[in-house]
């Protein structure tokens, strides 16, 4: 019995050890799971973030706090404090989106408390802590006249907020509140019967200045707002300008602490200023019409600053206000790249021991902000980046050495297959290039002067294609090139006089005509926009790597309705663009690509969607000749604007590739995907009483004009975000009934047999696809959605979702798969059982604690690695990172132990050799026995 | 699986009366058809016939159209030879009195290949107004004379499906069932670990003992006595 017991004990012991090993294994696996997200030391390694505030609306120097700073309020509904020395954001508060957060007034900084008025009805008054940006007090103003909110003027002074509303033909109503508590202090009515709807009034506290009449008999009336007994003072235009000034006159209040107004005349050719007070004092001096004015006070002396901009030179001329005596020690003139028609929006001139030094905060026409101290630009912020309208991510060019190799195997000659390869010349070229390489190598060894390169050394393509250039187009018409490694701005370009397509919600279109793979041809991008004055189309070409304009601004002379990038290239690898004007005429840009465009015209189709009329039309170019492209309409349909309004037209990413044609079911049969590259999703929102809060989604084949599918949601409303990729559509909306955000997904399948295995044709496929559908609850508000994209489409797709709380979620498409079974009887591979709610895992937030706000768009781009997708998120902030939806299956880990594997391999090799030797010796010995 | 069958049946059934409840309105619809065979960019429309859909909900329709004349067939053949498109203009009149014009087209050779058989699909929106009238033909592509000069036209009326909603009810039921099952299990389960899992532990033990018994090192009496 004893040995049995012993062996039993031994077994138990072994069992316990096994259990321990199992535990370790479980812990190990657990660790493995944890390591899917980012390690702490990887923060900022693959990603970067930049914060912006937007175009400045109000600004004020904070000179009362211990830490000097600039308080700004912007068009993006942001209140922020900027560091005086560096321009960095000290704190930033993002208010409500859109109309509800519009900042209407900002004040009280000189008194040490910051008060802002924002929103519409009700307007919200907030008092902020200057040092930290925390809200100290918040209260709403109950507005009496809802429709007159835009006529209300606000004045913040000495802890009191004045709400000033002109009542037509009777008086000006001034309601005063305690800006902290919101207590109504006083309501006054100052008689002003002359104010009508047409009267132009500006606030020059404590006066309200109104211009009555438009001719030379026009009168300027000044109403003292805090004195109910005073009579309105009147100043005629003639006393200001003298005789001979022509209308129309325009009234403006000059920024600064003093109540001063400027009146422009002669079609804004000249203007004069008027000091408002007990006795109004007109200054008898003409000021050029385009000068921006600001009044700053130094030792109780009022100084007028006139800012003019000519040929890149910004000139600030200071003069004493009353005497017009010039002050050359304050006047400056500065030339800097980041200034473009700037205006002073805040200025401060403290007297120091050395004398007076002025600091001016300048806001340029291209939304950039700069701080000018004396005549030196201290810092500049590119605030145009807070409003990006178009993004492209472009590969960087090869390094000089690679380019030499490329020229050696010049592509044009290497296609020559007719055995006419010139072997000798090729060899010479080869030897030549190798000699050159040897020369540079020797030079680098002997530390001789390196060859002057025409590009920055670090701006070259890397091995995995992860280092790229982001080309950004902003609504201000400014273009940027940002490299992806650190987010550094490499170049910037201003295109003046352009605007986005007004019919397409101010979108500017950016196409990559030639990538950087076609050395020696430079890469080329093209911008399509509208002329600011005429609304006609313009084309602007530039090099996306260096930011050099190529052909300059080309005015097209017609309005653009639709445009398209051709998929074929000309002989110099340039892809032409088809431009469709409002007279249905087709143009090709550049002209040289017409022949190429005509050669594929038989199979070229264009579609247009008009939001106002609801008409969608398709055109074919099949009657084109080689000289001219001729379009003819092949289909037309109407989404009646009486019932619905088109909100989204979403097509697939043209560079997308679908690797897998079908899906394997549990019974090993294949369900083939319906992959139609011409499929476009059209989302409409219902209008009118009966159809309000309905959402329609249509899938339309834009080549044949056939409707593929339509679906309708009741009692839901926007904002709608749509992602359309491969054979699926994922869209989000707000469910009014359940008061929650939902995500619905559709998936299209051809069925068990594929209609055409080689190529898809919209014209031959008449069978409608099977549409799978499912909806999910999403426990967060969505700002934007986009799918990931990789080079070959092998990697599974994830959806990048920007949440309203500042997070960016990487949501696997598997989670919104409409085939998730409700009752999992037969399990399919890679299908999770249905759960109505999509959980948000914190480790799927790809921007960890780097919250980004007001996301307006997400751009994804494939990298050189199949596993990795580059993600660029823009909005108020810019965020760039890379994601690997199927994990980095094609890259070795960073800490991969090369030495270990070499040692192991070597040891194995040696040991196998030795054992072979030993074995043969043993065999020999045995043979002797 | 059941949902798939619904979808398939939906697609197969010409009049999708099975889900007619999605449409709040019923009404009639009249289409006047004009077609063009000329091989030019500007179409020259000739009257083809008309289609009356008496009830948009059921999709019942009457098609009235004349056969093609020989010159038209010849024109169609030349169009097909040049890979051109047969264009159809449809003017729809709804019961509300609206008149909407639609344009649709298909490669002419498909019409010849299918002997003038075509399908006219009318898509309605949620207000029962037509939004798309499209023509399709099963094909195949051919430039030969058709066997007949009479049209074989099928009319299909389609309207939007109801959008999916998160299926919380089934899921909650499932959770309830699971919870109940667990509770039932837990009510009995207040025994010790050994008492609960003895049926797994004992065979495992026997297996361990057996394996150790067969082990040559352990060998001997213990194992054999066990076997007896």
Which chain A positions have a beta carbon within 8 Å of B42's beta carbon? 632
CA distance A454 to A522: 13
Straight-line distance from the first to the last Cα atom of chain A, in angstroms, rounded to the nearest whole number: 45
A822 closest CB neighbour out of B87, B131, B170: B170
Mean pLDDT of the region A74-101: 91
Tell me the two tokens of residue A925. Answer: 């010995």
Q: Residue B13: is its pLDDT beyond 60?
A: no
Spell out where A688-762 has E strands.
694-701, 707-714, 716-725, 728-735, 740-751
Domain end call among B158, B186, B208 = B158
Check: complex ipTM more than 0.90: no
Mean pLDDT of the region A299-326: 87
C-alpha separations of A874 from A91, A386, A785, A863, B115 in Å: 20, 8, 12, 19, 56
Chain B interface disruption, residue of A705, A713, A748, most B CBs within 10 A: A705
C-alpha separations of A232 from A210, A223, A229, A261, A759 in Å: 10, 5, 10, 16, 80
Rg over CA atoms, chain A: 35
pLDDT of residue A44: 81
Tell me the two tokens of residue A14. Answer: 């072994």
Cis ω before A126 (30° cut-off from 0): no
B100 closest CB neighbour out of A4, A638, A713: A638
Contacts (Cβ under 8 Å, ≥6 apart) of A799: A723, A730, A785, A786, A787, A788, A810, A811, A812, A813, A816
Place A628 in a pLDDT band, splitting at 50, 70 and 90: confident
Place A416 in a pLDDT band, splitting at 50, 70 and 90: very low
Q: What percent of chain A has pLDDT over 70?
A: 92
Phi and psi torsions of A414, nearest 5°: -75, -10
Place B219 in a pLDDT band, splitting at 50, 70 and 90: very low
SS3 (DSSP) at A762: coil
Burial, B158: exposed, middle or buried (Cβ in 10 Å; 0-12, 13-18, 19+)?
buried
Place A888 in a pLDDT band, splitting at 50, 70 and 90: confident
Could you say which residues from 29 to 68 on chain B have a Cβ atom under 8 Å away from some Cβ of chain A?
Answer: 40-43
Q: Model confidence over B103-148: pLDDT tens digits?
A: 999 998 888 888 888 899 999 888 888 899 999 988 788 888 888 8
B223 belongs to a structural domain = yes
Which chain B positions have a beta carbon within 8 Å of A766's beta carbon? 119, 136-139
Phi and psi torsions of A798, nearest 5°: -120, 160
- Mean pLDDT is lowest, of A25-34, A79-88, A263-272, A910-919, for A25-34
Domain end call among B139, B158, B177 = B158
In chain B, DSSP finds a helix count (H) and a strand count (E) of 6, 9
Q: Residue A867: is its pLDDT beyond 60?
A: yes
CA distance A777 to A78: 31
| Domain housing B198 | 168-227
Tell me the two tokens of residue A252. Answer: 């403006």
Do A440 and A840 form a contact (C-beta atoms < 8 A)?
A: no
Inter-chain touch B166–A711, beta carbons under 8 Å: no
C-alpha separations of A116 from A526, A538, A645, B1 in Å: 42, 40, 36, 59
B3 belongs to a structural domain = no
Mean pLDDT over each residue of chain A, to the nearest integer = 86
B45 and B108, same domain (yes or no)? yes
Rg over CA atoms, chain B: 35
Chain B interface disruption, residue of A684, A688, A716, A766, most B CBs within 10 A: A766
Q: Identify which of A910, A879, A704, A849 has the alpha carbon closest to the alpha carbon of residue A786.
A: A879
Nearest-CA residue of chain A relative to B91?
A: A637
Q: Identify which of A181, A172, A180 has the alpha carbon closest to the alpha carbon of residue A152.
A: A172
B91 and B153, same domain (yes or no)? yes
Straight-line distance from the first to the last Cα atom of chain B, in angstroms, rounded to the nearest whole number: 56
CA distance A837 to A655: 32
Which chain B positions have a beta carbon within 8 Å of A635's beta carbon? 102-105, 134
Q: Residue A877: is its pLDDT beyond 70?
A: yes
Largest CA distance in chain A: 135
SS3 (DSSP) at A820: coil
Q: Identify which of A381, A377, A241, A382 has the alpha carbon closest to the alpha carbon of residue A316.
A: A377
Place A414 in a pLDDT band, splitting at 50, 70 and 90: very low
Mean pLDDT of the region A387-399: 90
Cβ neighbours of B79 (radius 10 Å): 23
Residue whose tokens read 């008409």 = A615
CA distance A342 to A291: 10
Mean pLDDT of the region B82-103: 89
- Burial letters for A350-383: b for 16+ Cβ neighbours within 10 Å, e otherwise? eeeeeebebbbbbbbbbbbbbbbeeeebebbbbb
SS3 (DSSP) at A136: strand
Tell me the two tokens of residue B107. Answer: 């490669």
Q: Identify which of A696, A740, A695, A739 has the alpha carbon closest to the alpha carbon of residue A718.
A: A695
B100 belongs to a structural domain = yes
Tell me the two tokens of residue A785. Answer: 């959605």
B125 and B36, same domain (yes or no)? yes
CA distance A400 to A453: 8
B83 and B111, same domain (yes or no)? yes
Nearest-CA residue of chain A relative to B122?
A: A707
B41 and B126, same domain (yes or no)? yes
Tell me the two tokens of residue A529. Answer: 């926009």
Q: Model confidence over A510-564: pLDDT tens digits?
A: 999 998 888 778 899 999 999 988 889 999 999 999 888 988 889 999 999 999 9
Q: Model confidence over A660-680: pLDDT tens digits?
A: 888 888 888 899 999 999 999
CA distance A821 to B13: 25
Inter-chain touch B220–A3, beta carbons under 8 Å: yes
The verdict on B103 touching A (C-beta cutoff 8 Å) is yes
Q: Residue A915: is its pLDDT beyond 80?
A: yes
Q: Model confidence over A36-77: pLDDT tens digits?
A: 567 777 888 889 999 999 999 999 988 888 888 999 999 999
Q: Identify which of A407, A294, A353 has the alpha carbon closest to the alpha carbon of residue A59.
A: A294
Domain end call among B158, B190, B218 = B158
Q: Which residue would you say has higher pLDDT here, A278 or A812? A: A812
Residue whose tokens read 């630009």 = A377
Inter-chain touch B163–A622, beta carbons under 8 Å: no
The verdict on A19 touching B (C-beta cutoff 8 Å) is no
Q: Residue B19: is its pLDDT beyond 60?
A: no
Place B189 in a pLDDT band, splitting at 50, 70 and 90: low
Cis ω before A590 (30° cut-off from 0): yes
Mean pLDDT of the region A262-269: 81
The verdict on A753 touching B (C-beta cutoff 8 Å) is no
Largest CA distance in chain B: 108
The verdict on A695 touching B (C-beta cutoff 8 Å) is yes
Count the domains in chain B. 2
Q: Residue A24: is its pLDDT beyond 70?
A: no
Q: Model confidence over B154-167: pLDDT tens digits?
A: 999 988 888 899 98
Q: Residue B17: is its pLDDT beyond 50?
A: no
B7 belongs to a structural domain = no
Place A780 in a pLDDT band, splitting at 50, 70 and 90: very high
Q: Residue B16: is its pLDDT beyond 50?
A: no
Cis ω before B140 (30° cut-off from 0): yes
Which chain B positions have a beta carbon within 8 Å of A747's beta carbon? none
Inter-chain touch A777–B166, beta carbons under 8 Å: yes
B174 and B145, same domain (yes or no)? no
B166 closest CB neighbour out of A644, A690, A776: A776
Q: Residue A829: is its pLDDT beyond 80?
A: no
Mean pLDDT of the region B2-10: 40
In chain A, DSSP finds a helix count (H) and a strand count (E) of 8, 64
Inter-chain touch A711–B161, beta carbons under 8 Å: yes
Spell out where A831-889 has E strands.
857-862, 869-874, 877-883
Sign of the alpha-carbon dihedral angle for A368, A369, A373, A374: positive
Spell out where A548-693 has E strands.
549-555, 560-569, 575-581, 586-589, 605-609, 615-620, 632-638, 644-651, 662-664, 670-673, 679-686
The verdict on A658 touching B (C-beta cutoff 8 Å) is no
Q: Identify which of A830, A828, A820, A822 has the alpha carbon closest to the alpha carbon of residue A669.
A: A828
B88 and B121, same domain (yes or no)? yes
CA distance B126 to B111: 32
B1 belongs to a structural domain = no
Provide the 8-state DSSP code for A385. Answer: G
B218 closest CB neighbour out of A4, A644, A777: A4
Provide the 8-state DSSP code for A230. Answer: P
B142 and B181, same domain (yes or no)? no
B92 and B190, same domain (yes or no)? no
pLDDT of residue B40: 85
CA distance B63 to B31: 9
pLDDT of residue A758: 78
pLDDT of residue A701: 93
B78 and B132, same domain (yes or no)? yes
B178 and B149, same domain (yes or no)? no
Q: Identify which of A521, A482, A11, A408 has the alpha carbon closest to the alpha carbon of residue B222.
A: A11
Q: Model confidence over A102-127: pLDDT tens digits?
A: 999 998 888 788 899 988 778 899 99
Q: Which residue would you say has higher pLDDT here, A353 or A925? A: A925
CA distance A712 to A734: 14
B5 belongs to a structural domain = no
B79 and B107, same domain (yes or no)? yes
CA distance B51 to B90: 10
B176 belongs to a structural domain = yes
Chain A interface disruption, residue of B164, B169, B170, B228, most A CBs within 10 A: B164
CA distance A582 to A559: 6
Place A652 in a pLDDT band, splitting at 50, 70 and 90: very high
Q: Model confidence over A171-227: pLDDT tens digits?
A: 888 889 988 888 888 888 888 888 888 888 888 878 888 888 766 678 888 888 887
Q: What is the enclosing helix (H) or strand (E) of A909?
A: helix A898-928
User: CA of B69, closest CA in chain A: separation in Å?
Assistant: 24
Place A797 in a pLDDT band, splitting at 50, 70 and 90: very high
B91 belongs to a structural domain = yes
């Amino acid at each position: 019995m004893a040995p049995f017991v012993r062996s039993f004990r031994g077994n138990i012991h072994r069992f316990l050890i096994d259990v321990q090993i199992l535990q370790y294994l479980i812990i190990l696996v657990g660790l493995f799971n944890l390591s899917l997200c980012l390690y702490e030391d990887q923060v900022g390694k693959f990603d970067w973030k930049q914060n912006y505030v937007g175009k400045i609306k109000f600004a004020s120097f904070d000179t009362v706090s211990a830490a000097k700073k600039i308080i700004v309020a912007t068009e993006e509904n942001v209140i922020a404090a900027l560091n005086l020395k560096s321009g960095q954001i000290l704190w930033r508060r993002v208010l409500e989106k859109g109309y509800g957060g519009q900042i209407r007034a900002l004040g009280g900084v000189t008194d040490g408390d910051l008060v802002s008025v924002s929103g519409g009805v009700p307007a919200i008054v907030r008092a902020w802590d200057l040092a930290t940006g925390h809200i100290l007090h918040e209260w709403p103003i109950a507005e009496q006249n809802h429709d007159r909110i835009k006529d209300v003027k606000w004045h913040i002074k000495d802890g009191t907020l004045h709400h000033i509303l002109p009542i037509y033909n009777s008086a000006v109503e001034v309601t005063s509140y305690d800006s902290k508590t919101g207590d109504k202090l006083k309501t006054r009515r100052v008689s002003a019967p002359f104010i009508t709807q047409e009267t132009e009034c500006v606030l020059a506290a404590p006066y309200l200045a109104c211009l009555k009449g438009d001719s030379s008999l026009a009168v300027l009336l000044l109403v003292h707002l805090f004195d109910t007994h005073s009579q309105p003072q009147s100043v005629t235009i003639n006393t200001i300008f003298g005789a001979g000034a022509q209308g129309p006159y325009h009234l403006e209040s000059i920024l600064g602490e003093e109540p001063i107004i400027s009146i422009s005349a002669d079609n804004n050719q000249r203007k004069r200023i008027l000091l408002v007070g007990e006795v109004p004092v007109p200054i008898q001096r003409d000021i050029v019409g385009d000068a921006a004015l600001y009044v700053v006070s130094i030792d109780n002396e009022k100084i007028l600053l006139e800012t003019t901009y000519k040929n890149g030179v910004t000139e600030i001329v200071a003069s004493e206000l009353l005497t017009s005596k010039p002050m050359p020690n304050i006047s400056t003139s500065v030339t800097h790249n980041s200034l473009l028609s700037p205006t002073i929006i805040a200025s401060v001139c403290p007297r120091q021991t050395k004398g007076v030094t002025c600091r001016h905060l300048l806001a340029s026409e291209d939304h950039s902000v700069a701080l000018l101290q004396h005549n030196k630009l201290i810092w500049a912020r590119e605030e145009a980046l807070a409003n990006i309208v178009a993004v492209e991510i472009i590969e960087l060019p090869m390094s000089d050495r690679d380019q030499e190799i490329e020229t050696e195997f010049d592509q044009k000659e290497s296609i020559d297959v007719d055995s006419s390869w010139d072997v000798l010349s090729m060899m010479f070229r080869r030897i030549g290039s190798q000699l050159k390489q040897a020369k540079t190598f020797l030079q680098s060894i002997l530390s001789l002067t390196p060859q002057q390169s025409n590009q920055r050394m670090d701006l070259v393509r890397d091995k995995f294609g992860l280092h790229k250039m982001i080309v950004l187009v902003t609504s201000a018409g400014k273009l940027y090139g940002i490299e992806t490694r650190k987010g550094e701005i490499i170049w910037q370009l201003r295109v003046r006089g352009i605007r986005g397509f007004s019919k397409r919600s101010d979108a500017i279109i950016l196409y990559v005509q030639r990538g950087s793979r076609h050395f020696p041809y430079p890469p080329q991008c093209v911008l399509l926009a509208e002329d600011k004055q005429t609304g006609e189309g313009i084309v602007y070409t530039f090099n996306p790597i260096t930011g050099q304009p190529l052909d300059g601004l080309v005015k097209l002379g017609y309005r653009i309705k639709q445009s398209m990038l051709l998929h074929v290239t000309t002989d110099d690898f340039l892809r032409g663009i088809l431009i469709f004007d409002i007279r249905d005429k087709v143009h090709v840009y550049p002209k040289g690509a017409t022949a190429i465009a005509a050669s594929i015209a038989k199979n070229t189709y264009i579609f247009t969607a008009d939001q106002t009329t609801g008409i969608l039309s398709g055109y074919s170019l099949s009657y084109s000749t080689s000289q001219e492209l001729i379009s003819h309409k092949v289909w037309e349909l109407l989404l009646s604007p009486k019932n619905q309004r088109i909100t989204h037209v979403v097509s697939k990413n043209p560079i997308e590739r679908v690797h897998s044609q079908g899906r394997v079911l549990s019974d090993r049969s294949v369900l083939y995907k319906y992959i139609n590259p011409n499929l476009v999703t059209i989302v409409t929102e219902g209008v009118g009483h009966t159809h309000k809060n309905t959402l329609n989604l249509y899938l339309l084949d834009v080549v044949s004009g056939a409707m593929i599918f339509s679906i309708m949601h009741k009692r839901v409303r926007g904002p709608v975000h749509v992602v359309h990729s491969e054979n699926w559509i994922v869209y989000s909306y707000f469910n009014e009934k359940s008061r929650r955000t939902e995500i619905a997904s559709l998936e299209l399948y051809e069925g068990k047999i594929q209609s055409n295995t080689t190529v898809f044709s919209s014209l031959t496929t008449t069978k409608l696809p099977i549409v799978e559908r499912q909806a999910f609850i999403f426990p967060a508000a969505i700002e934007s959605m986009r799918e990931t994209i990789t080079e070959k489409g092998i990697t599974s797709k994830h959806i990048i979702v920007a949440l309203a709380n500042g997070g960016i979620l990487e949501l696997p498409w598997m989670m919104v798969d409409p085939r998730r079974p409700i009752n999992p009887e037969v399990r399919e591979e890679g299908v999770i059982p249905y759960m109505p709610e999509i959980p948000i895992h914190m480790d799927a937030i790809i921007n960890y604690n780097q919250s980004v706000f007001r996301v307006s768009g997400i751009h994804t781009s494939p990298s050189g690695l199949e596993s990795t997708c580059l993600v660029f998120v823009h909005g108020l902030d810019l965020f760039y990172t890379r994601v690997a939806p199927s994990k980095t299956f094609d890259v070795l880990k960073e800490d991969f132990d090369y030495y270990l594997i070499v040692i192991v391999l070597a040891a194995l090799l040696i040991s196998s050799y030795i054992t072979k030797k030993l074995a043969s010796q043993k065999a020999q010995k045995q043979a002797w026995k | 699986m059941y949902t798939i069958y619904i979808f398939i049946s939906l697609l197969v059934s010409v009049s999708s009366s099975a889900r007619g409840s999605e449409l709040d309105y019923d009404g009639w619809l009249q289409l006047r058809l004009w077609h063009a065979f000329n091989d030019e960019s500007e179409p020259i429309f000739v009257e083809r016939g008309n289609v009356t859909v008496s009830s948009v909900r059921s999709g019942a329709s009457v098609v009235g159209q004349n056969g093609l004349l020989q010159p038209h067939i010849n024109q169609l053949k030349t169009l097909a030879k040049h890979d051109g498109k047969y264009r159809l203009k449809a003017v729809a009149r709804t019961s509300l009195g609206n008149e909407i014009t639609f344009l649709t087209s298909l490669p002419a050779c498909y019409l010849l290949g299918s002997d003038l058989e075509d399908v006219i699909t009318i898509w309605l929106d949620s207000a029962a107004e037509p939004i798309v009238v499209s023509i399709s033909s099963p094909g195949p592509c051919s430039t030969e004379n058709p066997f007949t000069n009479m049209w074989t036209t099928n009319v299909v009326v389609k309207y939007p499906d109801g959008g999916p909603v998160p299926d919380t009810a089934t899921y909650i039921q499932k959770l309830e069932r699971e919870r109940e099952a667990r509770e039932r299990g837990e009510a009995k389960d207040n025994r010790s670990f050994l008492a609960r899992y003895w049926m797994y532990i004992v065979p495992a033990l026997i297996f361990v003992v057996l394996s150790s018994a067969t082990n040559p090192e352990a060998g001997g009496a213990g194992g054999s006595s066990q076997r007896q």
